[in-house]
Chain A
Amino acid sequence: MLNIDCPYCGPRAESEYRCGGESLIQRPALDCSDAEWADYLYTRNNPKGVHIERWHHVHGCGMWFNAARSTVTHQIFATWGMTDPVPELPE
C-alpha cells in the first residue's frame, strides 16, 4: 500500500485515496474533430517510468492533486496542487 504525501494533509495511506488516472490531459473544445475527442477520451500514456497522475484524497481533505510516480518502483517523486506548476521531475 502506497504512502502518498497529500499536499494539504501530509503522508497518508493509499487506502484514503482514489486514483483518478493520468493527469494534465487537455480537454478539447466542442468543435474538435472526432479523432481529437477520441484521443482525449481513450488514449493514455503507459510509461515504464515516471507517470503523472491525479489522486483524490477522498477519505481525507477531499482535495485532488497531482503525483509523479514511478510505474516500476512505485516511488513517488512529487505531489503538487492541481493548479500549481509541474515541479522538476526525473526522466
Chain B
Amino acid sequence: MSGYRLAEGGRIDRSRTVRFRWGGQPYEGHPGDTLASALLANGVSIVGRSFKYHRPRGLLGAGLEEPNALLQLGDGATTVPNRKATEVELFDGLSASAVNAWPSPELDLMAVNGLVKRFIPAAFYYKTFTWPHWRWFEPAIRKAAGLGRAPEAADPDRYDQRHAHEDLLVVGGGLAGLAAALEAARAGRQVLLVEGDALLGGAIFGRQSADDRAEAERLAAALSALPNVTLKTRTLAVGYHDHNLLSLVERLTDHLPEDRRRGPRQRLWKVRAGEVVLATGAIERPLVFDGNDLPGVMLASAAGLYLERHAVAPGRRVVLACNNDRAWGAALALAEAGVRVEAILEARAEVEPALLAAARGAGIVVETGTTVLQALGRRGVTGVRTTRLDAQGHATGEGRRLPCDCLLMSGGFSPVVHLHSQAGGSLGWDEGLQAFVPGAQPQACRSVGAAAGDLDLSIRPLWHVARAGADPSPSAWVDFQNDVTAGDVALAHREAFRSVEHLKRYTTLGMASDQGKTSNVNGLAIMGTLLGKAPADVGTTRFRPPYDPSTMGAYAGLRRGDLLRPAAGLPAHAAHEALGAVFEEYGHWLRPAFYPRAGEGEARAVAREAAAVRASAGLFDASPLGKIAVKGPDAATFLDRIYVGTISTLKPGRCRYGLMLNEHGILFDDGVVARIAEDHFLVGTTSGHAAAVQAAFQEWLQCEWTGLAVASENVTQGWAVMNVAGPHARTILQSLETDIDLSADAFPHLAHREGTLEGVHCRIQRVSFTGELSFEVAVPTRYGLALHARLMEAGAPFGITPFGVEALMILRTEKGFLHLGSDTDGMTLPQDIGFGGPVTTKKVDFVGRRSCLRPDGQRADRRQFVGLESLDGRLLPVGAHVLRPGEAAPGRSQGWVTSSVNSPNLGRPHALAMIEAGQSRLGEEICVWDLGTSHRARIVDPCAFDPEGVRMHG
C-alpha cells in the first residue's frame, strides 16, 4: 500500500503540523489526524504483526473495529498497550510502536512462526504441549504470542468517577442519535448524548455526504442551544448493566500533548437513565478470501473515512471487491478525489443502473458476478486474482489478474448490537440485510438508525470465496487479531467443536481485544455453511462489557494506594508517634504494635513492655474496642436473646463478660457489657468488629424481634479509651482530679462508673485483659490526646510504660484469656471454650443456642480450649498440629496451637491450643509437630499466671 495525502479536502488543519514518532522514526501529520490516518498519509503500510504467525499487517479499519494496528503508546509509567492507531488522536510529541513485532513490524524476526504456520493451526497448543506439562512451555509461548507490555511502574495519572441520572441517554452522535436526542429534548426531557469519537456526526458508510454533514451540524447546533441537553464527545459507552445503568469512559486528556495535560486522565461515568437510545451504527465486514490480511487490503468504509475526514488516499491503484451497493460510495468518492480506481468486483449479478453509470463515468471497470479469489503479494498487496461466482456463490475458474496497491473490500454491514445484547436484548437474523439486528429488549432501551438495521442495503451473501466442494482455506482470514482462518473454522467443525460457543473457545475466534467486531458474523456464517445451517440457526456468543478495552485506572478511580482502604487513626495517634511507636494495621485500625527504645528490636521491646505492666504500670490505647449503646425498655430482654449468658440480672453500675454467637452457634464476638441504667447498656465488642455487631443487632431487631422497643447505636468513635494496668494503676489514676471513688471497696472489679476526670465527662470500667488491676478510662474523643498526656505525666513517678498490641497479646496469653479469631475459628461453639452452661440451663432462647444442641455440638471429642506447656523449653509454633506422643507425621491431627508466646513474666514459653477433648486431658503429654520438627508438650490449664486472680481483683 502506498497511501498519501491529497492536496485538498478533509477535516484537518493544514496550517499546523504535528510531529510524532512511530517505531522511533519521526513523522508529521496535522491536527484532526488520528495516528492511523497520519501513518497512512506518510505511506506507512505495515503497522503491526499478527498475534500468532507474525504476519505483516496494515490498517483494515478506521475506527474501533480495527484489529491490526495495535500499538504501545508512550513509555515508562504512562505507557498504554494495545491501543488502536485508529482511536488515537494525533498530538505533538506522540510516540508509539507496534506491539507484537521485534525489532520492528517491517523486519519482525518472530515471523518465523509464519513459515511453520500450517503446523500450528487452532488448538495446536492444547494438543502438542501436553507432555510433561503445559507449564514447561507456557512462558516461551506466551512471550512469542503476547500483545503489548503492561507498564511496570505505578500509574501516575488520576482517574475520576461520577454518577449521573438522566431521563434519556443517547449512545452515539451520528444522525440517528442526534435526531433522537433533539426530539426528546424538545419534549422537555433531560438528555445526555455521548459519542466515543472526537467529532459528532457519525460515519455510517465511512463517510458523510455534504447533505448529511450539514444536517449533523444543524442538529448538533440545535442541541447545544438547549439547557436540558448535555453533549459529550470522546466518551464511549462500554457497559450496559442492570436497570438501565451504563458505564461510560470519558477521555479527558489522552488527546493532548503531555505538557498540556491537567487534571484527571479519564472519567468513568455511571449513568442511570430512564430510557436509553442506542445509535451505535454498524461495522463493515471483510470478505473472506486467500490473502485478505495483506497490508493494503482494507474495508471500503475505512477508505471512505480516511478520505472524507483526513484527505488521505489508501493507495494509487485501487480495486474494490464487494457484495453490496453501499460499498460503492467509497470507490466513487476516491475516483472523484482523483484516485485511480481500477475496477469494482461486485458479487451481485445485477447492479443499480445509477451506480453503474456513475462508475463508468469515473472510468471504473465494473465486473458483476465476480469477486476476488486471492490477493497477491508478500509484504503488501500487489494485485488480485478474480473469479466468477456461480449461482450458488462458489468460485468457478480462475479469472484475470489485476494489478493494484490497495484492495477495498466489503462483505456487508453488522449493526453494532453489543450494548443491546449486554442489556439482555435478543438478536434476530435479518435476511435482507444478512446481519443480526436487535430483537426484544427487556430494559427501557431502543436501537435506532444503522444499529437497528435501518440500512437500506442490497446485498448478496458471500461468506467465503471457495470452489464448490473445497474446504475453507487456511490462508483466508476470519479473525485478523487472533489469527483465525477459515481453515481453522473448518478444523473446529471436523473435530466436532460446532456450537458457536465451542467454536469460539477452540479457535479463539472473537476472543481478541476487539471481541470479534469484524469477525464474529463471518466465522459463524462459515460454520453455518459447513453445518448446512443459516447463520440465524448457528446463533451468536454473548456480548460482554466492555465494548472496547478500557483502562483499569478508570474503574479503580480514587480507590487506590492509601485511599483503597483507609486505616482509622487513634485519637492519640500523635502521642504514640512521639513515643516512637511502630504502627500496624489491626482490622482497619492503625495501632501501636510496640514502642522500641533505641537499639531495641521487636522481641525485646515487647518483652520489656509486658514485664513492666506486671511490675508497675502500663498504658494502652484501647480506643478501637467497639462500643455499642443499647437503649430502651426492652434492652435487657434483647441482650438476653443475644448473649450466651444472662444480662437482665446485671445491676446498673456493673459489667459482665459475655459471648455472642451467630445462628449456627459459632462464636461471633465477645466483650464486656456494662449496665449504665435499667434501660441503658454499653456493649463492648472486639476491636474492628463493632460495625458487624451493630449490623447483627439491627438485623435481629428489624427482621425478627420487631416488637421489641430497643435502639442501638455504634458509638465507638465517640470515645477515646485509655487502659491503665498494673499494680500502681489505682494510685496513678487517683492522682488525677476526679469525683469518682476509685478505692477497692467503692470500685470493685467489673464495675462501671461515670463522673468527671480533670473536669471532663468520663466513663471508667474496671475490666482487665492483662490480668492486672486495670481501669479503662473513656473520655470524649477530642480529649483523647490530653488524657494520654495526663496519664503519662501522672504515671511518670511509677515508670508507667506505654505498651502496644503485641505486649497485650503476651499478657493475655499468660492469663489464658481467649482472643476471638486467634484461638477460635469458624467451628468453635461456646461449650468448646468452657461456656456451655447456658446452652442447657438458660431460661430464654438466644441466638445460636439451638445449633449448639445438635448432635455434633454434643460430641465428646470436640476440640476444646486448653493451655500447652512446652516440655523441651522451646516456643511452640502457632498452627502446629497436635499428635499423640511419639507419633510421627503424617498422623491424625487432634488439634493445633492457636497462640504462643515467650513469656517474660513466667520465664518460659506458654501456648494456647484447641485439642480434641482437651479439657479432660489436662496433664497429658502430647507431641506438637510442625514442618518436620516435633516438640514435646503437656496439656495444662490455659491460665499460667496468677490463676487465683489476686492481682486483677486487688
Residues of A that sit less than 8 Å from B by CB: 1-3, 13-14, 20, 23, 27-30, 32, 34, 37-38, 41, 54, 56, 58, 62-64, 73-75, 82-83
Contact of B243 among A34, A41, A63, A74 (CB under 8 A): A74
- Closest A residue by C-beta to B846: A30
In the assembly, what is the distance between CA of A80 and CA of B855, in Å? 39
Evaluate contact between B442 and A73: CB separation under 8 angstroms. yes
- Closest B residue by C-beta to A23: B703
On chain B, the residues within 8 Å of A74 by CB distance are 242-243
Supply 22 A–B pairs (Cβ within 8 Å), ascending by A.
A1-B243, A2-B242, A2-B243, A3-B242, A3-B243, A3-B272, A13-B245, A13-B272, A14-B242, A27-B704, A30-B849, A37-B850, A37-B851, A56-B695, A56-B698, A58-B695, A63-B702, A64-B699, A64-B703, A73-B424, A74-B242, A82-B703
- Closest A residue by C-beta to B706: A83
Evaluate contact between B851 and A41: CB separation under 8 angstroms. yes
On chain A, the residues within 8 Å of B849 by CB distance are 30
B854 at interface (Cβ–Cβ under 8 A)? yes
Nearest 6 pairs between A and B by C-beta?
Answer: A3-B243, A64-B702, A30-B845, A74-B242, A1-B245, A37-B850
On chain B, the residues within 8 Å of A1 by CB distance are 241-243, 245, 270
Beta-carbon contacts of B679-704 to A below 8 Å, as 1s and 0s? 00000000000000001001100111
How many A-B pairs have beta carbons closer than 8 Å: the answer is: 56
Given contacts A13-B272, A20-B699, A41-B664, contact A3 B851 (CB under 8 A): no
In the assembly, what is the distance between CA of A64 and CA of B700, in Å? 10
Evaluate contact between A3 and B245: CB separation under 8 angstroms. yes
B501 at interface (Cβ–Cβ under 8 A)? no
On chain B, the residues within 8 Å of A32 by CB distance are 850
In the assembly, what is the distance between CA of A30 and CA of B850, in Å? 6
4 extra interface residue pairs, beta carbon distance < 8 Å, beyond A30-B850, A63-B702, A82-B706 = A13-B163, A37-B850, A41-B851, A74-B243
Evaluate contact between A20 and B703: CB separation under 8 angstroms. yes
- Closest B residue by C-beta to A76: B243
Given contacts A62-B698, A73-B424, A74-B243, contact A34 B270 (CB under 8 A): no
On chain B, the residues within 8 Å of A54 by CB distance are 703
In the assembled complex, the CB of A69 is this many whole angstroms from the nearest CB of chain B, namely: 10
On chain B, the residues within 8 Å of A2 by CB distance are 242-243
Query: Which residues between 636 and 674 of chain B lie within 8 Å of chain A, taking CB atoms?
Result: 663-664
On chain B, the residues within 8 Å of A13 by CB distance are 163, 245, 270, 272
B253 at interface (Cβ–Cβ under 8 A)? no
B244 at interface (Cβ–Cβ under 8 A)? yes
In the assembled complex, the CB of A34 is this many whole angstroms from the nearest CB of chain B, namely: 6
On chain A, the residues within 8 Å of B702 by CB distance are 63-64, 82
In the assembly, what is the distance between CA of A14 and CA of B272, in Å? 12
- Closest A residue by C-beta to B702: A64
Q: Which of B241, B272, B703, B851 has the most CB of A within 10 A?
A: B703
On chain A, the residues within 8 Å of B272 by CB distance are 3, 13
Evaluate contact between A64 and B851: CB separation under 8 angstroms. no
Beta-carbon contacts of B279-318 to A below 8 Å, as 1s and 0s? 0000000000000000000000000000000000000000
On chain B, the residues within 8 Å of A41 by CB distance are 663-664, 851
- Closest B residue by C-beta to A42: B664
In the assembly, what is the distance between CA of A17 and CA of B845, in Å? 30
Given contacts A56-B699, A74-B243, contact A34 B854 (CB under 8 A): yes
Given contacts A1-B270, A13-B272, A41-B663, contact A34 B855 (CB under 8 A): yes
On chain A, the residues within 8 Å of B663 by CB distance are 41
Given contacts A2-B243, A3-B272, contact A37 B854 (CB under 8 A): yes
In the assembly, what is the distance between CA of A32 and CA of B594, in Å? 51
In the assembled complex, the CB of B829 is this many whole angstroms from the nearest CB of chain A, namely: 14
Query: Which residues between 755 and 782 of chain B lie within 8 Å of chain A, taking CB atoms?
Result: none
In the assembly, what is the distance between CA of A38 and CA of B704, in Å? 18
Query: Which residues between 816 and 857 of chain B lie within 8 Å of chain A, taking CB atoms?
Result: 845, 849-851, 854-855
Query: Which residues between 163 and 210 of chain B lie within 8 Å of chain A, taking CB atoms?
Result: 163
In the assembly, what is the distance between CA of A38 and CA of B241, in Å? 37
Beta-carbon contacts of B577-604 to A below 8 Å, as 1s and 0s? 0000000000000000000000000000
Beta-carbon contacts of B703-714 to A below 8 Å, as 1s and 0s? 110100000000
- Closest A residue by C-beta to B443: A73
In the assembled complex, the CB of B846 is this many whole angstroms from the nearest CB of chain A, namely: 9
On chain A, the residues within 8 Å of B424 by CB distance are 73
On chain A, the residues within 8 Å of B243 by CB distance are 1-3, 74
In the assembled complex, the CB of A45 is this many whole angstroms from the nearest CB of chain B, namely: 17
In the assembled complex, the CB of A62 is this many whole angstroms from the nearest CB of chain B, namely: 7
- Closest A residue by C-beta to B244: A3
On chain A, the residues within 8 Å of B242 by CB distance are 1-3, 14, 74
Evaluate contact between B698 and A64: CB separation under 8 angstroms. yes
In the assembled complex, the CB of A70 is this many whole angstroms from the nearest CB of chain B, namely: 10
In the assembled complex, the CB of A65 is this many whole angstroms from the nearest CB of chain B, namely: 9
Q: Which of B242, B664, B698, B706 has the most CB of A within 10 A?
A: B242
On chain B, the residues within 8 Å of A56 by CB distance are 695, 698-699
Beta-carbon contacts of B844-873 to A below 8 Å, as 1s and 0s? 010001110011000000000000000000
- Closest B residue by C-beta to A63: B702
In the assembled complex, the CB of A88 is this many whole angstroms from the nearest CB of chain B, namely: 22
In the assembled complex, the CB of B631 is this many whole angstroms from the nearest CB of chain A, namely: 16
In the assembly, what is the distance between CA of A32 and CA of B851, in Å? 11
On chain A, the residues within 8 Å of B244 by CB distance are 3
In the assembly, what is the distance between CA of A73 and CA of B244, in Å? 12
- Closest A residue by C-beta to B442: A73
In the assembly, what is the distance between CA of A29 and CA of B850, in Å? 9
- Closest A residue by C-beta to B855: A34
In the assembly, what is the distance between CA of A75 and CA of B243, in Å? 8
In the assembled complex, the CB of A85 is this many whole angstroms from the nearest CB of chain B, namely: 13
On chain B, the residues within 8 Å of A82 by CB distance are 702-703, 706
In the assembly, what is the distance between CA of A56 and CA of B854, in Å? 30
Beta-carbon contacts of B915-926 to A below 8 Å, as 1s and 0s? 000000000000
- Closest A residue by C-beta to B845: A30
In the assembled complex, the CB of B827 is this many whole angstroms from the nearest CB of chain A, namely: 15
In the assembled complex, the CB of B240 is this many whole angstroms from the nearest CB of chain A, namely: 11
In the assembled complex, the CB of A8 is this many whole angstroms from the nearest CB of chain B, namely: 11
On chain A, the residues within 8 Å of B850 by CB distance are 28, 30, 32, 37
Beta-carbon contacts of B120-138 to A below 8 Å, as 1s and 0s? 0000000000000000000
In the assembled complex, the CB of A37 is this many whole angstroms from the nearest CB of chain B, namely: 5
In the assembled complex, the CB of B776 is this many whole angstroms from the nearest CB of chain A, namely: 28
In the assembly, what is the distance between CA of A30 and CA of B665, in Å? 13
In the assembly, what is the distance between CA of A2 and CA of B695, in Å? 22
On chain B, the residues within 8 Å of A62 by CB distance are 698
In the assembled complex, the CB of B1 is this many whole angstroms from the nearest CB of chain A, namely: 45
Query: Which residues between 210 and 268 of chain B lie within 8 Å of chain A, taking CB atoms?
Result: 241-245
On chain A, the residues within 8 Å of B855 by CB distance are 34
In the assembled complex, the CB of A84 is this many whole angstroms from the nearest CB of chain B, namely: 11
In the assembly, what is the distance between CA of A54 and CA of B851, in Å? 23
In the assembled complex, the CB of B461 is this many whole angstroms from the nearest CB of chain A, namely: 34
In the assembly, what is the distance between CA of A1 and CA of B854, in Å? 40
In the assembly, what is the distance between CA of A63 and CA of B424, in Å? 31
On chain B, the residues within 8 Å of A27 by CB distance are 704
- Closest B residue by C-beta to A58: B695
In the assembly, what is the distance between CA of A3 and CA of B664, in Å? 32
On chain B, the residues within 8 Å of A75 by CB distance are 442
In the assembly, what is the distance between CA of A18 and CA of B815, in Å? 39
Q: Which of B272, B664, B706, B850 has the most CB of A within 10 A?
A: B850
In the assembly, what is the distance between CA of A13 and CA of B442, in Å? 19
- Closest A residue by C-beta to B691: A58
On chain B, the residues within 8 Å of A14 by CB distance are 242
In the assembled complex, the CB of B449 is this many whole angstroms from the nearest CB of chain A, namely: 26
